[in-house]
Structure 1
């Protein structure tokens, strides 16, 4: 049939654009979107809350490299997903939310799910939020979102369609158009960067999550230049752990600013060097900086001596690795590998002292888990420590709500990630308080039969907030909450439930959970470290 309801045509359009999974919750206002999902051959994952659906779409996008898609209803459905959209915006994740909207809001009041302006509400946490009042507009806006995902810094987008329009008959969407790519570096920029690096005595690279496309070129560039390197939390795995001049993901250590000040050239690739990367006002360098990014907004705070290069990190660094000759002996960089090893050991010891017990447990997990395990973590002290000391074997395999910093991310995002990586190991790590924000999504994981270990770090309180209060000389208040019996709760949902008593038992438990036919909640406490 050429003519079908618009809701059917939208699902078919998404299928033709390589969408195979949609997350969401049906309701009376968006039911027309559900008419064509099965016909299109798309899997729909029923979340228990729209917040969960948004985090699932985010996790799916991070794991697959494709846009995550969610369907929600008007009003509360959309407001419930705004937090995940804010997280996706902050962390540059391509998420497309399609919602229904009321046909008329100016002249009517008291309608079901009515908001004064839901489009504007979503616009606050998206690249854009727009209304399609015709089939042609819906198709155009959806393709606009996919174009932006393919060619600019990824940000979530929201398209809303009036209820009557969703149910009206419409022609099929046009075939997928050719997609633009990311901007390529100019030859002049590449050669200028090569010349600057070769002239520098102590060049320092900082790689962020935006440099993941350059993973194959980064080891060559570092070897050829003798440069030292840091990675942001999102960039972990880009530099092999055994690289002699690699400082790791310790940028947030305050004395890393002194190291940046030693450099006579800084090359920051695919990173905004934001507050949540540094936890101080600036990197600490005084030397010129070369900034490589696909987002021009990242160049707004550059100094007069700095260089801005608008380019895809992968193409830029691969071009550098081809263009740059190996350093001769008299050109060798002056970074001290032994000093770097000692500095990393000192930082690791600081993490262990600050968060007793976590380092040993984190090390045990890192030893046990396969290298291709993808981890989704929540805002929890266990993740804060592990993000510094856990050297990832490959990039893009530890995902965290970095910028927006929302609680409740790990479990639903891991569900989305597991859906994108069927047959590959996926793990969720959450704190005892944060996991309760979205614990109901455990039902979704059970329904899907996902072999998902859900590690719950249970210290019986909001530990990070308590420590912040103490540092601020505030008597700890409202940091102790009554926790449920997490193991009993897991069993009530039909999931596995374990509480290992030793590190060896933890390793065995996690590996067994990866082979199970349903998710397993694994409660961890400080007692595990002995």
Structure 2
């Protein structure tokens, strides 16, 4: 007899799942019975928050949903923070959990891991949260989840399965995939209106968010046809390579770029929510669009948030940009002027960059040209927010925007390396944030995942300390105890180094990229930067 738990992992494999993250528990052991009969790799984190961040990093780099198997009750409250980050950044994540037996739900009898209503708790950090009450419904609920990942604005989905349903007979269940719907395509009318505005535009501008990640070639073709400079958010870094003459990079929060938004006569915004952390990082006020705004988004509700669009296109980014391109047949764009605008903007952003942080990132990039960086909330990532760019999509991401969690970098980098083992992966995390999830070093060693962990050590919560200083507030809780990171790394089984110069860092990064085990490198901030980015 095949149980619901055994059939579950078979269906996941059929949907292309190759890795799951989870900590087995007394309520979830039956979800593991069928795993040896699949090709799915299981990674064991040291905390469920780590499992969620690993799945997040895996999804960001691969474009596929990260999958977690999580225990009832405390396991779910532990992973909630990671799900909140994934929801804020539209990252596909499938969280499958156990829950108490069907006849125990809502009884409040003090059962192990019991919550009054686990599904309601998780619904606030997920696209949807579902309780599976019959094994027969499993294929339909999983199909609904993968439809979200494939065809809608993605985010975390939670499916909880009562213990007695996990073990219920499921031999009769069809294990094949559902045919998933294509993402939405744009309406002809909206495409025509957008094309008309762009054809007449004298000073067009393109703004990209993470929702444009699948449309790089189409966006490049459109930008070149229009002579339109391209700016991007953190999650859109590399969609248009930074070396492209129309790529500006930077951030919508940067004063020069905000000014360009007011001067452009047509702005085409693709897959970006115009959120505060991308467009008002310096708290200057809401972004202002001076001309006509065309918005493309896969989420209908997003098209009416933050800024008002004259043309709102509900569509997958790739489909919409393709359609607009097909209608722009005779555009009299001043392409040289567009390149000149992009160059001027890029130079203006470049002119005010912090040279010390720039030198740090230049060292990383020189040593590891194909690097993937998973950042946390730490001083270098605040610099990278506006001044670090890449040549490829899905090569830089951090948790400092969106939900803004701490402890993200270490596990997210592990997930990223599992997704793309052929690329060097760096976790960039501060001394304070690293202590949230430093136990995941053990997970990396155990799984033989050769991530490079860069610990930026400024002996405390430097950014919050700055806010206290600026607000004339007594510094409480920010000058925290600094542990021996080299000793911790060694104890967990990592190769460890402390570096005090760019030359040493360059050498150690190259050496670390050639090892088959994780490397922890501690960087004292005083050796690399004076202070705040």
The TM-score range, normalised by the shorter chain, is: over 0.9
The answer for the alignment partner of 2:286 in structure 1 is 282
Rounded to whole Å, the distance in 1 between the matches of 2:107 and 2:434 is 42
Instruction: Give the equivalent residue in structure 2 for 1:183.
Output: 184
Question: In the alignment, which of 318, 321, 326 is matched to residue 322 of structure 2?
Answer: 318
Q: Which runs of 5+ in 1 are unaligned?
A: none
Distance 1:303 1:440 in 2: 42
Segment drifting more, 433-442 vs 11-20: 11-20
- 8 A contact 2:230–2:342 mirrored in 1: no
> What is aligned with 1:164?
164
Residue number in structure 2 paired with 1:152: 152
Is 296-305 or 90-99 further displaced after alignment? Answer: 296-305
Change (3 A) 1:379 1:305: closer
Secondary structure at the residue paired with 1:177? coil
Over aligned residue pairs, what C-alpha RMSD do you find?
1.9
CA distance in 2, matches of 1:13, 1:394: 32
Structure 2 residue aligned with 1:127 = 127
Q: Deviations over 1:3-48 (max 9, x none)?
A: 3121111111111211111100001111110111112232111111
Match of residue 298 from structure 2: 294
Conservation of the 8 A alpha-carbon contact between 2:4 and 2:165: yes
CA distance in structure 2 between the partners assigned to 1:487 and 1:230 by the alignment: 39
**Which residue does 1:514 correspond to in 2?**
513
Q: Spell out the pairing of 1:126-275 with structure 2 (5 A cutoff).
A: 126-174=126-174, 175-275=176-276
Show the counterpart of 1:61: 59
- Structure 2: distance between partners of 1:303 and 1:412: 34
Structure 2 residue matching 1:247: 3-state secondary structure: strand
Which SS does the other structure have where 1:240 is aligned? coil
Once the two structures are TM-superposed, the CA of residue 440 in structure 1 deviates from its matched residue by: 0.2
Per-residue CA shift, 1:237-280, capped at 9, x if unaligned? 12232333433223112343222111111111110010111115
With the length of structure 2 as denominator, give the TM-score of the two structures.
0.94
Residue 471 of structure 1 and its aligned partner are, at CA, apart by: 2.3
| Distance (Å, rounded) in 1 between the aligned partners of 2:451 and 2:51 | 17
Shift of 1:441: 0.5
Give the alignment's TM-score, normalised by structure 1.
Answer: 0.94
Gaps of 5+ in 2: none
1:30–1:100: 8 Å Cα contact kept in structure 2?
A: yes
Does residue 112 of the first structure (1) align with residue 117 of the second (2)? Answer: no
Q: CA 1:306 to 1:281, structure 2 compared with 1: closer, same or farther past 3 Å?
A: farther
**Equivalent position of 1:83 in the other structure:** 81
Shift of 1:58: 1.2
Query: Residues 279-319 of structure 1: CA distance to partner in whole angstroms, max 9, x if unpaired?
Result: 15432212110000101111224777611001111122223
Q: Distance in 1 between matches of 2:410 and 2:275?
A: 26
Matches of 2:521 and 2:308, distance apart in 1: 52
Q: Which residue of 2 aligns with 1:96?
A: 94
2:330 paired with 1:332: no
CA deviation after TM superposition for structure 1 residue 461, in Å = 1.6
Alpha-carbon distance change, 336 to 22 in structure 1, aligned in 2, over 3 angstroms: closer
Aligned positions, number: 522
Q: Is the partner of 1:483 in helix, strand or coil?
A: coil
1:387 CA displacement: 2.8
Instruction: Rate the CA distance shift 1:378–1:292 in 2: closer, same or farther, 3 A.
Output: same
Which deviates more from structure 2 when the two are superposed, residues 475-484 or residues 18-27? Answer: 475-484
SS in structure 1 at match of 2:352: helix
Mapped contact 1:183–1:311 kept (Cα < 8 A): yes
- State the Cα deviation string for residues 393-452 of structure 1 (Å, max 9, x = none): 111111212311101111111111111112322111111110111100000100111221
Match of 2:12 among 2, 11, 14: 14
**Residue 335 of structure 1: how far off its partner (Å):** 4.8
Cα distance 1:318–1:138, how it changes in 2: closer, same or farther (>3 A)?
same
Deviations 1:363-407 (A, max 9, x none): 211222123x22111111111102322220111111212311101
Aligned mate of 1:348, from 345, 350, 355:
350
Deviates most, 253-262 or 450-459: 253-262
SS of 1:357's equivalent in the other structure is: helix
